[in-house]
Amino acid sequence: MEKMIVEKMILKLGNIHNHYCYLKHKCDDDGTFGMATGLAMFGQFMNRQYEDNKN
């Protein structure tokens, strides 16, 4: 059970990293937009994990 959650988190972080890189190359600024998006996505994911574990 725990192992699956960790694997999912690693996959999710990988997706966020890819998304961040994509946004960074897409935007001409210093990439803070991509970073903020990645952090927001990760926050939502962690919140969902917490809700799932609570029930």
pLDDT of residue 52 exceeding 60, the answer is yes
- Return the pLDDT at 21: 63
Can you tell me the mean pLDDT for 43-47?
82
Quote the number of domains for the chain: 1
Residue range 12-42, pLDDT digits in tens: 877 776 666 666 665 545 555 666 677 777 8
Contact between 50 and 43 (Cβ < 8 Å): no
pLDDT of residue 45 exceeding 80, the answer is yes
pLDDT of residue 9 exceeding 80, the answer is no
Q: What is the domain range of residue 9?
A: 1-53
CA distance 53 to 15: 22
